[in-house]
Amino acid sequence: MSFFKKKSVRPVSRVPRIISSSTAKNRLDFLKKRIFLRLLGLVGFVILLCLFSIWARLQVLGLGYDINTLKQRQDVLEEDHKRLRLELSILKSPVRLEKIFGESARLTLPNQTQIIKVTL
């Protein structure tokens, strides 16, 4: 009374296919070529990875040398800056200026009556 009938399942026997030697050889050649191409791709990828690693290290070394050169240049410039500031302070010295202008232009310090105060 059921709507579904059970069908008897026959075992499927797998009979090996007989492959001609030329087909087997073609298939084997195809598999060898496929494996070779995959291996070649993998080797190529590893070589590219090594080249990238070498390039990155060379970049790091080059930048290290550049940084060292710039630090040396900065030290030289800082020394020049210190020397120039010292020279500026010597040139702006009131004693020196008074001596130079007092001798060459015969300038003297102004009296209190010569000073005019301006208020804004």
CA dist 102 and 116 (Å) reads: 22
Q: What pLDDT does 1 receive?
A: 53
User: Range with the lowest mean pLDDT among 2-6, 35-39, 59-63, 64-68?
Assistant: 2-6
For residue 34, being part of any structural domain is answered with: no
For residue 85, being part of any structural domain is answered with: yes
For residue 7, being part of any structural domain is answered with: no
For residue 75, being part of any structural domain is answered with: yes
Q: Is the pLDDT of residue 109 over 80?
A: no
For residue 57, being part of any structural domain is answered with: no
For residue 30, being part of any structural domain is answered with: no
pTM score over 0.85: no
pLDDT tens-digit map of 69-82: 999 999 999 999 99
Q: What pLDDT does 37 receive?
A: 94
Q: Could you tell me the pLDDT band of residue 90, with boundaries at 50, 70 and 90?
A: very high
pLDDT tens-digit map of 8-61: 666 666 666 666 667 777 888 888 999 999 999 999 999 999 999 999 999 999
Q: What pLDDT does 44 receive?
A: 97
For residue 9, being part of any structural domain is answered with: no
Residue 98 structural domain? 67-108
For residue 41, being part of any structural domain is answered with: no
